[in-house]
Amino acid sequence: MRNFFKQTFASLLGTVLGLMIFFGISTTGILLLLFAVTSSRDTTPQVQDKSVVVFDLSMNITDRPPSSGELLQTALSGAESQRMTLRSVLDTVEKARLDPRIVGIYLDASRTTSVGSTGFASLMEIRQALEKFRESGKKVVAYGVGLNERQYYLTSVADTVVLNPVGLMQVKGLSSQPLFLAEAFDKFGIGVQTVRAGKFKGGVEPFILKEMSSENRQQIQQLLEDVWGNWRTTVSSSRKITPEQLQAIADNQVILSPDEAKTRGLIDQVAYQDEVVTELKELTESNPTARTFQQINLRNYAQVSGRTLGVERNSPNKIAVVYAEGEIVDGRGEDGQIGGDRFARVFNQIRQDDNIKAVVLRINSPGGSATASEVIHREVKLTRELKPVVVSMGNVAASGGYWIASDSNRIFAESTTVTGSIGVFGILFNGQQLANDNGITWDTVKTARYADTETVARPKTPPELEIYQRSVNRIYDTFLDRVVQGRKLPAPKVADIAQGRVWSGMAAKEIGLVDEIGGLQAAIAYAAQAAELENDWQLQEYPRVSTLEERFFGRAVQEISTILQISGLAAQPSHPLMAELEKLQQQMMIIQKMNDPHGIYTRLPFNFRLD
């Protein structure tokens, strides 16, 4: 039967694509055809009394809504078939808190990929929403087969945490393990020269060193300790365990059996999923002989109107939420990137819209092009002159991500946000040795001494490196000035806390780079207050997706993803070794997309990640 579905779907997809090519049917026509099919039946979710909202923690949670192109690609590939925005998750949990038909939330961490890529700042905001839900008197139940730090950070908020009898729990602390490519480049004959400003600016280190510099190691160690300290404090407050006990487990045990986890108070029950289902049947007063309990999954419940509960608003006064997520690049940029020109047009449009009374700039970016960062910064500054602009920092808002945040009315960040990294660098590649080893040479004719300075045929000379260093220093001074002017901080202090150093949100608040510890919802509330809107406002998201696209893709993706799951074509979790290879591939792709016109970047290290 499984092969039948797979072959049938592949045949159907091939037939449709063949018809498109043969008859010249446009993509729009095909999409409208699919929309007509998927909209032919009523898919409005129904909520029954005493229901539990099922929150599948393997869901991909992002800041910005997916574009139409991303949704179509997701539907056809089956990868990341479940996706919600952070704001949608938060609004949906709040709606469940107020809905008398909802009696609880079930955190399903049974899949091994649960919350694997969701950053701690996003998890913190979701956790706070779940705490508020629980404080209302409704139940939160969590079940997992294996719980690591990310999963447990979220599930530890539950009234009851259940672990499968053959499962395990991992408490090992946090680490960062960047790749270093210097010897590989040397082996293959690829020359690398760098120029940078800021002694902590580790963005260039993977290309010129075999290991972290002492400065880079120092800043990453402090960042890890800040995030890990927050993890221990947060978990201990929910589980009535001291941070010192959690540290002892990480230092001495690392992996706990279900019985050990229960003995130490980390979980409440050791049970199978069917036993958890039985308990949820009792909570929902479901028929004991029914297959499962009365439920609705989070994505479906998000589509249920919350207007009668006061969650949804309808007002002519708008608060624009601009999602700046991904690499900052010059030009328009692609899906998943922050294109300088595209975001400049977004802010220009917002300034001219009198219905928009305030702006929340949500940043989740490691930075990128210095030129594009300055283009966006200018538009943010011009917008701030007309209406309040509040920044909400997500998991990462560093380097170029901080550049575009610096001139706002107020900056919000979570304690675990990675921010700062006020520094600049340039990377200069050359292929002289690689070419010469394979019998390729160059010759040059020029009309001025530096006419061929941009060549990749040879390394840069010391005078040429001085020219590039002057450019980097100039951009660095500009970056410092933007922070001095935007944050109203003394220049010597900014010069001291800059140097390319990364900070946690908690540390950034202490040194003045951040105003308040809080998430997206807190930033929105502050924007409404700054614009004196009280409760008379409605959110409007940018970059925008048309209503037709939202209606079509929101439904079509669910339909096609379901087919892919049944047919077995959906993407499977990768092997740990493959994850390392994917990390390398991502790094190469980032290098390929580096497009600053002057070759100068304000960015975190390319493969920076907390594990």
Where b means 16+ CB within 10 Å and e means fewer, 439-448 reads eeeeeeeeee
The runs of H, that is alpha helices, within 385-536 are 400-403, 432-437, 462-487, 491-497, 505-511, 520-530
**DSSP conformational letter for 65:** P
Radius of gyration of the chain (CA): 26
For 497-556, the DSSP string reads H-TT-EEEHHHHHHHTS-SEE--HHHHHHHHHHHTT-TT--EEEEES---HHHHHHHHHH
Left (φ > 0), alpha (ψ -120 to 50) or beta: where does 84 sit?
beta
Catalytic residue among 58, 122, 138, 201: 201
Q: Is 262 considered catalytic here?
A: no
The phi, psi pair for 206, rounded to 5°, reads -60, -20
Tell me whether residue 214 is exposed, middle or buried, using C-beta atoms within 10 angstroms of its C-beta: 0 to 12, 13 to 18, 19 or more: exposed
Alpha carbons within 13 angstroms on the beta-carbon side of residue 222 total 16
Query: What stretches of 137-217 adopt beta strand conformation (E)?
Result: 139-147, 160-170, 191-197
Contact of 371 with 426, CB cutoff 8 Å: no
Question: Residue 43, SS3?
Answer: coil
Task: Supply 521's token pair.
Answer: 């919802």
Question: Which of 126, 164, 171 is closest to 148 using CA atoms?
Answer: 171
Catalytic residue among 58, 369, 399, 567: 399
Whose structure tokens read 């991904």? 326
Tell me whether residue 528 is exposed, middle or buried, using C-beta atoms within 10 angstroms of its C-beta: 0 to 12, 13 to 18, 19 or more: buried
Contact of 89 with 142, CB cutoff 8 Å: no
Whose structure tokens read 């990294």? 421
Rounded Cα distance, 427 and 599, in Å: 7
Q: Is 201 considered catalytic here?
A: yes
CA 169 to chain CA centroid, nearest Å: 25
The residues facing 368 across adjacent strands are 328, 602
Contact of 602 with 367, CB cutoff 8 Å: yes
Contact of 545 with 68, CB cutoff 8 Å: yes
CA 33 to chain CA centroid, nearest Å: 33
Active site residues: 201, 399
